[in-house]
């Protein structure tokens, strides 16, 4: 079935780094634009980063620009988020999510279950 599975979350000290991975199965991954979205405890959803189907275009939320990098490997059906300079306020559940693009940007209808990142000394 259609599935996204995140991994790589955990406990990290402020200023540290972490790489999140998202493995796709059950659909044609190269046909989907992909994003990372997070949710701090008790808070709403926050868009973090976007990458298009061909990896040539990326967008970032202002508050992660320069610290986080989104990338994908279409041969491995995988999405990544490299996070540097982590702050306490980056503590959240991190979701990968994507949607189909075919001359039209469909909505983000595929979501992972989330991976928890805790930034604490």
Angle CA 62–19–69, to nearest 5: 30
- Give least dist CB 117 to another protein, A: 16
CB of 101 vs another protein, minimal distance in Å:
11
Give yes or no for residue 60 binding another protein (CB under 8 A): yes
Please, which residue, 17 or 116, has the CB nearer to another protein? 116
Coil, strand or helix: which one is 90?
helix
Q: Is 101 in the site for another protein (CB under 8 A)?
A: no
CA distance 12 to 87: 9
Q: Identify the residue among 41, 56, 102, 107 touching another protein (CB under 8 A).
A: 107
Binding of residue 35 to another protein (CB under 8 A): yes
DSSP assignments along 2-50, one per residue:
-EEEEE--EEE-TT--EEEEEEEESS-GGGEEEEEEEE-TT--EEEEEE
27 binds another protein, rule: CB under 8 A: no
Instruction: Name the strand (E) or helix (H) holding 99.
Output: strand 92-100
Residues engaged in binding another protein (CB under 8 A): 35, 37, 44-47, 50, 59-62, 95, 97, 99, 104-109, 111-114
């Amino acid at each position: 079935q259609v599935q996204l599975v995140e991994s790589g979350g955990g406990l990290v000290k402020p200023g540290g780094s972490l790489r999140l991975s998202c493995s796709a199965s059950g659909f044609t991954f190269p046909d989907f634009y992909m994003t990372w979205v997070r949710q701090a405890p008790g808070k709403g959803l926050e868009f973090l980063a976007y990458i298009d189907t061909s990896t040539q275009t990326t967008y970032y939320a202002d508050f992660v620009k320069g610290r986080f990098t989104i990338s994908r490997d279409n041969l491995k059906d995988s999405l990544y988020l490299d996070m540097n300079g982590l702050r306490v306020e980056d503590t959240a559940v991190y979701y990968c999510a994507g949607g189909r693009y075919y001359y039209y940007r469909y909505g983000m209808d595929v979501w992972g279950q989330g991976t928890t990142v805790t930034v604490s000394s």
